[in-house]
Structure 1
Amino acid sequence: MFSNLRKYAAACLVAAGGLLLTCLSSWNVRQELQTSHFKEFEWAAGDRIQSVRAVAEQGLDALLEIRGLFYAAQGIDEKEFLLFTDSVLKRHSYIEALLWAPLLNSSRQPLPTTAPGTRSVRGTDSAAASTAPIEQLRLPVLLSAARKAPLATPGVDLNATGELAELFRRARASGKVAVSGRMRLERPGEKAAHVIYAALPVYAPGQPRRVAAAEPADPLGFVIGVYDIEELVHVAISLLEPRGVEVLVRDASAEGEAQFLHFYASRLEPRAVAAASGLLPEADEEQPRMVVTIPVGDRQWTVTCVATHTFRSAEAFTKAHWSVLVGGLVCTALLGLYLVRSRRELDNRIHLTQTIYEREELFRQLAETVDVVFWAISPDAARLEYIGPAFRKIAGAEARLDDPAAAVLFDVFAPDDRARLVDAISQLRREGGHFSTVLPLAGGDHALRWLRVCGFPVCEPGVELVRIVGFLEDITEHKLAEDALRDSEARLRTLFNHSPDLIFTVDGEANILLSNRPWPHPAGAAGEKRSPLILPPEVRPGYLQRLRHVFASGRIEHLQYRSSGDTWWEVRMVPISSATTVKAAMVVISDITENRKLQWQAIRSSRLASLGVLSAGIAHEINNPNHAILANAGLLARIWNDALPILDEYEQDQGDFLLAGLGFAQARQTITRGMNDIAENAKRIQKIVDNLKHLGKQDRGHMDELADIGRILHAVATLLDARIRKCTDCFALDLPDSLPMVRGNVQQLEQVFINVIVNALESLPDRSRAVRVSARANPAEGRLIVEVVDQGKGIPEDVMAQLGEPFFTTKAESGGTGLGLSISSSIVDKHGGMLRLEPNPELGTTVSVDLPIAREE
C-alpha cells in the first residue's frame, strides 16, 4: 500500500500544481482582455471609418475624372462617354449612374459657351456669365450611363426637383462637388434603394470660376453621380476582416430623421437593425463606441462604430502569454517526468522484443519466399554459419543445409570456378569492399544455368571482420536474354551499316548523333557534325524548315531534290519520340532515280491514255475536214478563180443567170464565203494537229521551265473543243489578261488540266449543265489558283475520301484506270502546290489547283 502511494504521489503533485497555475494564468489573461478590448476596438473602428471615407472620396473622384475627360478631349460624343463611364462603373460598384446635363436658359438655348457632349470644349471662347438664378435655368439630361435601367431619359430636366435644384445651386455657388441628402430611388420590379446625388460643375477651358466676388460664373453643365448608400458602405466595410463592429452613418448636415443614411450590421451579427429613428439598436447602448465626422463633398457625415457582443480582440494574450507559457511548461515537465520514470523500462523492453521478432519474421519470409539464396560464413571462410532454404533449388534436394562446412557452398561450382570464388573471398578479407561474379553451375550445361555470387563484409567496432555474408542468384534467363540482345544488336548494326541508304539521327539543332556511314564533310566550328552539309546548298533551307516542323508537330516530313547527273534523291525525316516530346529525328536519304523514271513513265502512259480517250472525238475533226481541205481546197480555189472572168463576161452578154438556183451575184458571194470557210477550217485543223503533236512530245521531267498558265489553259481548251461541244453548251474560260508565270514542267501541267477538265465534262448529266474554268493570282501570298467548277452529279462523301488513291475509279466500265487524279495530285505536289476537291453548296464539284508563283531572279 505504501509503495502504491509513493507511486502516485508524483501524479497528485503534478495535478495540483497544474490546476493552481492554470487558475492563476486564466485570471491574468482575463484582466488583460478587459484592458486591451477597447484599444483593439478603437483600431478596428478607425479602420472602418477611414475605409468609408476613402470609398466616398473615390466615388466623388469619378466625377473629377469625367470632367478631366471633357477638358482633355476635343469633342465628346455618346459612344466615347459610355466607353469611359463603363470602366468607372466597373471599378465602383456603388455608383448607380453617371449623367451629363448641360445648363440651358429658359429659351432652351445653351448659355454662351460650348457644352461638352454636344461638340467641343477646348478652343471655345468664354462668354459673360449669366446672372439668372439657377431655378430659372434648365438642366436636361444629355448623356446617361447607368448600371441597370436608365435613371433618367435624355431631355429630363433635373432642375425641376426641389432637392436637386438646391444641390445644383450649391455646386454652382462653390464651383466644387456638392452632395445631396438621402433620397429614395424607385426601381420597377426591384426593391427601392436609398441614394445620394453628387453634382460637379464643368466650366469652359480658361473660364473663371467667379466673374465677381459675389457672382458665380455659369458652368457649361454638371456631371452628376448617383451613389447607392448601402452598396457604398458595404464596399468600404467588406474590404476589412469581420470583427463584430456595427457602423451607423448619419448626415450631420441634415436635420431630424433625414440625418440617417445607413446602418451596417456586423457580418458576425447580420440580423441586427437600426431603430426607426436611425439610432443604434438597444442591445448596443452599453457597448464601446467611436464617433468621427468626415467630409463628403460639401456635407459632413458622422460615422459611429459600436462593438457588438461578438467583437473579437486579437490582443488577448499580449501580456499574459508568458504566465500561460510558464505554467504550461511546468505542468508538462512534471507530468513528463512522472510518465518517463514509470514507463521507460517497460517501453524499452516491449520495443526491443517487438523489433527482434519483426526482424526475425521478415528475414524468415525473405529467405523462404524469394529465389535468392542468402549465405553467411566465418571470417576465415572455413565454417558455414547460414544458408537459405532456396539453395536446394540450385544444388538439388539432397543438399545438406545443416552441414557447417563451407564446402557445401563451394561444391556446386566446377574446380576452376570454385578457385575464382575462393580468390574473390580472399581479396575481400584482405582489402575489404565487396565482390560480384558470375559463374556457371557445375555438372550441367553452362549455357543453361548461371549464378551470380555476391559477398559483403560484416564488421563490428573494435573487430576487423566478424563474418562474410552474401547471396546466390540464378540469372540464367537474364544471361540468355543479354546474349540474345547482343546478337540482335549485332545483326541490326550489320543491316544498319550495310544499308544502301544514308541513315543518321539528328538533334533539334540538326547535328548528327549517329550515322551508318563515315562523315563525308568536315566538322563544324564547335566540333559538331552539321547534317545540312550533306545536301546541296539550294536544298538546305527547305530541309531545315521541314526538320523544324518534325520536331514541332511530331509528324513525318520528306522532300525530293535532283543532284548533278540527273540523279534524284528523297530525304525522309521520321520523329523519334519519348512520351509526348520529340527527342531526335531519323533522316533517311535514298536514291529514287529509278522510281522517278517509273513515275515519268506512268505520267506519259496516262498522257497517252488521255489521248486515247480524246481520239474518238478528234478523229472526225481530223479525217473528214482534213481530207476535204487537203484534196479539194486548192483545186476549188483555182477553178473558181479561172471561171470567174468567164462568168462575168457571160453575165454582161446574157444578163443575170442562175447557179444552183441562186442569182449570179448571190452565188458569187456564197462561193467566196465558202472558200473563206474552207481556209478557216484548214487553220483550225492545223492548230489541233499542232497541239496533239505538242502533247505527245517526250517529257524529260525538267521542273525549271517558266509556264504561262493562261496559254496552257487556252491550248487545253482548244484540244478538248470536240469533247466540250459534245458534253455541254455552257463552257466558260474566265481568265484575266495576264497571269504570273509558274516554274515547273509545262507538259505535266497540261496533263493535270486535261484530266481535271475531262473529269468535269464527264460528270455532267446533260448538255444544259455548265463547266467554268477560272484563274486568279494572289501576289500577297505568292500563289496562283486555277478553279474548275462543274454543275455535275457531285461526289459522294465515301468516294471523296478515296479519290486520291491510285487505281480507284468509278468509271471502270467506261475504261477508267483510276490514275488520273492520283497522277495529277502527284504532279501538283511536285510543283509545290496542292490539288483540292470540294463539293459545291448547290450541285457539282469545285477542283482547285493551287501553284506557287515563280520568283523573279
Structure 2
Amino acid sequence: MLDNLRKYAAAYAVAMGGVLLTCLSSWNVRDELQTSHLKEFQWAASDRIESVRAVVGQGLDALREIRGLFYAAQGIDETEFSVFADSILQRRPYIESLLWAPMLTAPGQVPPEGAPGKSRAAIGSELPPPVPVALVASRAALGPAKGVDLNAISEVATLFERARASGEIAVSGRMALTGRDRESLSVIYAVLPVYAPGKARGVAAGAPPPHVEPLGFVLGIYRIDELVHLAISLLEPRGVEVLVSDDSAGSEAKFLHFYASRLEPRSAATAAGLLPDQDKDQPRMVATIRVGDRRWSITCVATHTFRSAEAFTQAHWSVLVGGILFTALLSFYLVRSRREMDSRIRLAQTIYEREELLRQLAETVDVVFWATNAEATRLEYIGPAFRQIAGEEVSLDSSAPSLLLDVFEPDDRRVLRQAIAQLQTDGGRFTVVLPVSRGEHDLLWLRVCGFPVREAAAQLTRIVGFCEDITEHKLAEDALRDSEAKLRTLFNHSPDLIFTVDAQANILLTNRPLPYPVGGAGDKRSELILPPDVRAAYLEKLWQVFASGRIEHYQYTSSDGTWWEIRMVPIASAKAVMAAMVVITDITENRKLQWQAIRSARLASLGVLSAGIAHEISNPNHAITANAALLTRIWHDALPILGEYQQEQGDFLLAGLSFAQARETISRGMGDIAENARRIQKIIANLKHLGKQDRGHMDELADIGKILDAAVTLLDARIRKHTDSLTLDLPDALPVVRGNVQQLEQVFINVIVNALESLPERSRSVKISARLDSAGGRIVVRVKDQGQGISEDVMAQIGEPFFTTKAETGGTGLGLSISSSIVEKHGGVLRFESNRKFGTTVSIDLPISTEE
C-alpha cells in the first residue's frame, strides 16, 4: 500500500490541486458573469430610456413644426395644413390627430389670422372665449371634429390655461379615446399656444408677453402604446420590460403604459399598473424625463430571459465540470504512464531474454546466418555454424566479405557477387544454389539467400541472409528426375478416374477400366458412370466447357456419404474445343479439411471484428438499453406532474420548446433510442450468424445483394476506422446464385477488408457494386478501392496459400486462397486488376441459377 502511494504520489497531488483550482476558477467565473449581467442590463435600460425620451421629443416637436408653419406662412388654408400635417403623421405613426384651434374674441366670431387678441384685463370678468377646431388632420377621424369648442372639454381647457400661463407645450395625463373598433385607446393631449408673429421672440425665450392672448392653439393627440412600442422596437430584443408612469398625475392615474419584452410577450402589468410579480426581484433601473410641462417616470426591469452573456450563465459549472474532467484525465494519464513505464521495463527484460534465445538459436542450428552493410564491403555478422562448412580453424572475427565468399569456387563466387549487386540495384531478394568442395570426393550444395533491410525512408541499410546445406535435397532432386519415368507409369494407377470425352459426352480415353458397366455393349456415354440425379447437371456443365472454353467444376455426394468432385478441363486447339478431360476425384477427406480451413478463416475474420465490436457495441448497448428504459419510465411518471403544472401556470418552455412540443419530441426520442438499441442487437445477431457452423451445402439460393448488405453491416466499425466514403451500389433486383451463403459472405468480407486495409488515408474511398454481365448469365461483383495498389511480384503470388504481406499484423495468407477456392466451387472466377495510381479492383464473377 505504501509503495503504491509513493509510486502514484504525483497523480494524487495533481488530482487534489486540480480540483481546488477548478473550484476557485468556477467561483470567480460565476462572480464575473453576475457583474457583467448587471452592467449589460444597465446599458440596455439606458438605451430604452433614451429611445423613449427621443421619440417623445420628436412627437412634441411636431407641434413646434406646425407653429413654425404659421409663423412662416402668415396664415394657411385647410389644404396647406392637411398636406403639412399628413406628412408629420406618416413620419410619426403614434400621433393620432393634429388640430389647429383659433381663440375667438367673442362667441361666434373668428378673428382674422394674425390679428391680436384681447388683453387679459379686458376679458378677465367674461366667460372663457371659445376655442373651436378650425383645421384637422387625423388618421381615422379620431378625437374632436372640426367646429367643436375645445374649451368646453374640461381636461383640454385646463391644458389651455397651463399653456397660456407658460407659453410652452402643456401635456395632459392619460386619457381615454374611443378607437376605430370601439375599443378604448390610452392617449395624451399636448397643446402649444401660437402668438402673433410680432410676439414670437418672447415666446421663443420661454415666457409669453404679459397681457397678450394667443391667436390659438396647436393640439396633438398621441397614442401612448404606439409611442412606447415604436421607441423600443428600434432596439434589439434583450429581455427588458418597460413601465411608463406619469409622476405629475395623482397616485391613481400614474400608470401610462407597460411594454412587455418581445422575449416574454405573455408578461403583463398588474391591474394597479405595477410591474408583474415575476419581475419583483429582478434588476431594475428608473429614470425621469420631461414631457412638455410634465414628468414621466420610466422603469426598466430585466426579465428572466434577459439576453446578456446568457449563453455563459452556466459557464462556471462548465469550468467546474471541465476542470474536474481534465484533472481526472491528467491523473489517469500519469497513472497510465507509470504503468506503461513498468510495462517497458518488463518488455526490455523480455527483449533481452529473446535476444539471448536468438543467439543460442544461431549457435545451435545448422543454418548459417550472415549480415553485411548496404555496400557489401563489411561483414557485420556470420553464424558459428559457418565452421561446419569452412572448417573449425576458420576465424569468425574477420569483417571482410571474403570470409563468406572464399569457400566457393571463383565462378560460383562471381555468381554470388552478381546476385548481391542485383539486390542492391532492384531491392529484391535472391536465392542461388552453389557447390562447395570439401576434398576430392566430398561436395556440399548450399542454398544462399539474401534479403534487403530498409529504413522507413526506403533506404537500403543492410543485407541479411542465410546459407543452408541442401545436399540431401539436391541428391533427392536428382533422384526425382530419375524416377520421373516411373511416376508416369504410376499416373496410370491414379486413384482418380480420368477420361476424355467428345462433344457428345462419349468417352474417348480412360486411365483405367470403368468402375461399373455404363450401358450395353459398346455404350461409352460418360454420364452413365455417375448417379442418376447428377447426370443432368454434369451434362450441362460439360456443354458449358465446350461452349465457353473455361474449366468447370461440379461436386456431388453419393449415397454412402462420400463427396466427389468432377473437374472438366477443355482440350482446345487454336480455334475450338476439341475434347474435354474429366477427372473424378474422391474429395471426402479434402472436404472435411476444407470445412475446417473455412471455419478457421471465418473465426479469424470474426476475431478481427470482435475486438472492436466488444468495446463499441456490447457494453454501450447494455447501458443504452437499461438507461433508455429507466428514462422512459421517469418521463412517463413526470408527464402527469408537468401536465398539472401546465394547467395551473400556463404553457412553459423546455429546452426552448413548448411543453406540447417537448412532450412529443422526448417521447419520439425515447422511441428512437430503443429502436437504435434494437438495431445494434441486430448487428450482433448478424455476427452470430457469421459464426455458425458451415455444413458446406452448395444447394442454397443466395441473394448477392442481401449478402453484400449484411457484410457491410458487419464491417461497419472497420469501415468507419479506415474511410469516410464507402459506396454500396446495387440494382433493385439481382438473380439468385446457387451455392453456399456463408461461404460467399466470407469471400465478400475478406475482399472488402483487404480493400479497406489498403487505403493509406481516410479520405480515400471504396466502391462496391454488383451487375449482370452483358450476356445476362453471370453476376459480376466489383470491389474497387483507391488504395496503394498491388506490386507485380505480390500479384504473381497473391493466390498462393500462406503468402501474405501482413504477417506482422497477424495475416495468415489463407484469406484470398480460400476465397478463390470458394469462388471456383461456385463456378465463378476471382480476378484482380491493380494500378499504383488508381488502386485495385477485385472482380467476382458468379453464374446465376437457372432454376425457378
Q: With structure 2 as the length reference, what TM-score do the two structures score?
A: 0.38
TM-score (norm 1): 0.38
